[in-house]
Amino acid sequence: MYPKVYLKKDEFIQRKHPWIFSGALKNLDKTLHNQIVFVCNTKGEIVATGYYQDSSIAVKILSFEKIELNENFWEDKIKNALLYRQKIKAFGNGTNTYRLIFGEADGLPGLIIDNYDGHFVMQAHTEFMYLQKDIIQQTIQNIFKDDFKSFYDKSEYNDGSQFIQGINDCIILENHLKFYVNWVEGQKTGFFLDQRDNRKKLGEMVAGKKVLNTFAYSGGFSVYAAAGGCQLVHSVDSSAKAIEWCNKNMKLNGFENNHESFVADVFEFLKNVEKNFYEVIVLDPPAFAKSIHHKHSAVQAYKRLNSLALNKICSGGLIFTFSCSGVIDKNLFYNTVNAACFESNRTVRILDYLHLPVDHPVLPNFPEGEYLKGLILYVE
């Protein structure tokens, strides 16, 4: 049915990792790029089905069985992803938005789909997945029926960005709080859904405190801080558009009176703020390292950022610090923060380790999926 590729050693498939690297294959064939292939073990038996890429990751696994990629395949994958999120209550009860498809964790490597109250935003991170956009969109329409409102393709391969019903934005609910989301102009799919649980945790710890939200984007942490009864919250981002959306979200929830925003470079802002003024600081930067080549410079940036916050925060203050760089693993990030703590000459306690929410599941056989890492620090 499909071309076959052969493994050099069976151990490359026995761990059930969804990536087969080019060095693990006996035969490399550039003409197979973006084609479905069967992966065969050393006995010639078909042990998986995936799609081939002319890259260091030669095959991304869609199933550890021999299957056919037809309409039933897509329907089963998306229905199963939805069923999981229904069972673990990823939406409902004041939340109408969630990640529907999370790449390898849902058996669809290279594909991200977020559901914003019936507005579906797709990001394909591989060319193969981008080429499947029509059947993906149609399958979602068929599954969600009357709950389907629009579909937008925001893939890097897209040369025209595909609309279904031409919707640019909407207002969503997350834990009963309102947020304006613009998936056309916004970052990623429009909103950082991966921080939902961590925003809620922040809101539970800031009553009566002065909060600084850096790299604020559209103000997710700022809204939760205000909802949690903080004394004031300041939002800082280098993007004027992001701060405009941040202000909009604060107003949507009636929190504009104890909020002030700044369009500024975060590093420069932290250098110039008054010491001991803020009691809570949120450090949620964009990915400093988008590839392995930027790993060293990213580590230095994380260390410098955390050092600045540690130098400025008041005694008894809290720092929520994050990394969303996939090439910076948990241990490296924690060690980098520890180095900043050590050099600060302040007593620091780790109160909690922060993670992805349940609609961004992590597979035991694919730890690379856990790209978001965070810590809550108590600083004496």
The CB density around residue 358, as the number of other CB atoms within 10 Å, is 16
What's the pTM?
0.95
Do 293 and 310 lie in a common domain? yes
Number of domains in the chain: 3
Q: Is residue 180 part of a domain?
A: no
Residue 289: the pLDDT is: 66
Domain CATH number, residue 331? 3.40.50.150
Residue 40: the pLDDT is: 97
The two three-digit tokens of residue 107, written as one number? 């058996």
Strands 232-237 and 169-174, bridge-based pairing: unpaired
From the list 145, 135, 95, the residue with the least C-alpha distance to 113 is: 135
Mind giving me the DSSP string for 131-145? HTHHHHHHHHHHHHG
Full domain range(s) for residue 146: 71-171
Residue 212: the pLDDT is: 98
Q: How many whole angstroms separate alpha carbon 181 and alpha carbon 217?
A: 11
Residue 164: the pLDDT is: 81
Q: Is residue 25 part of a domain?
A: yes
Do 154 and 299 lie in a common domain? no
Residue 297: the pLDDT is: 86
Give 10-residue mean pLDDT values along the chain (380 residues): 95 93 94 97 97 97 97 98 98 97 98 98 96 96 97 87 84 98 95 98 98 98 98 98 98 96 97 96 88 81 96 97 91 95 95 97 95 97
Do 56 and 83 lie in a common domain? no
Do 366 and 343 lie in a common domain? yes
- Among residues 34, 63, 92, the one where a domain terminates is 63
Residue 123: the pLDDT is: 96
